[in-house]
Homo-oligomer: A and B are copies of this chain.
Amino acid sequence: MLFAEKIKQLRDFRQMPQRQIAAALEIDTATYCKIEKGDRRAKREQVFILSELFECKHDELLKIWLADQIYDVVKNEKEASEVLNLVQENIVEYGKR
């Protein structure tokens, strides 16, 4: 998962222990560990907090977080790319509802 890798990279860069991040998110270090390993998904508010902690662009981190969720949907699909295109093509059409 891109998100997991990203936050690990950010944390490593700043040499912060998981404990510290977990505290900021008000969760157990074990839980944070799982998020960083991609076993658990962070909540949207947590993405926001993380972007502040790591002083990185919130939008960018959020996009990665969303990308992971999308990937989950198509990861085992042979025609994943085509599905993504289908959404892209119909995104306006979808909006009409």
Contacts and interface: CB of A to CB of B under 8 A. Distances in A.
Interface size class of A (residues with CB under 8 A): 20 to 34
A77 B93 CA distance: 15
* This protein's copies in its complex: 2
A55 interface: no
A15 interface: no
10 contacts: A1-B97, A59-B79, A63-B82, A69-B73, A70-B70, A71-B90, A80-B91, A84-B84, A84-B88, A85-B88
Given A59-B79, A66-B83, A71-B94, 13 more contacts: A2-B93, A2-B94, A63-B82, A63-B86, A66-B74, A67-B87, A67-B90, A70-B74, A70-B83, A70-B84, A71-B87, A71-B90, A81-B88
